[in-house]
Amino acid sequence: MSDYDIIIYVCHNVAVKAPSLSPPGPLGHRAAPPKVASNVVLREVPCSGKTDVLYLLRAFEGGARGVAIITCPLGECRLAEGNYRAQVRVRHVGRLLDEIGLDSERLILLHSAPGAEGRDVPALIEQAVERLSALPDNPMRGTGFQPVGNHGQSARGGHATR
């Protein structure tokens, strides 16, 4: 389980232009703007469209209170349709979260404003943190829940059902 309560994926193309974000460190992590709490991690992705459904689900499985994705402005993705793909994935994962009782409000998608050139990213991060911090704790946090391993065995020793 991670010490991070909120995970924010930021598209590289807007992150590099954001004035108050530090350069990426190991694993693409960036330091959040100074006003953001220590329980928040920023993860830079090459394109918001590369944010995989599995990454999003694993964050919740690991106990994250919420996840946000910050994209380029709609229609201005440098990699064709990445922000549209991110939108589709967020809707899909939101439906899955609702189905399992976690609530789709735990996953939010925010688009940078057209012409902002990334200057609005710190404000978008603060907005995401404010919205996600207001949610109750993830019920899977601290329960000892372990995902199914690679060999079909759960962490409790039983076989996984397919």
CATH, residue 64: 3.40.50
Q: What is the pLDDT of residues 16-54, one digit of tens each?
A: 766 566 556 665 566 655 556 778 888 888 889 888 899
Q: Is residue 142 part of a domain?
A: no
Q: How many domains does the chain have?
A: 1
The residue range of the domain holding 67 is 6-133
pTM beyond 0.75, yes or no:
yes
Q: Is residue 145 part of a domain?
A: no
Q: Is residue 160 part of a domain?
A: no
Q: Is residue 18 part of a domain?
A: yes
Comparing 92-96, 119-123, 141-145, the range with the smallest average pLDDT is 141-145
pLDDT number for residue 17? 66
**Residue 94's closest CA among 85, 105, 83?**
105
Q: Is residue 35 part of a domain?
A: yes
Q: Is residue 1 part of a domain?
A: no
Q: Is residue 77 part of a domain?
A: yes
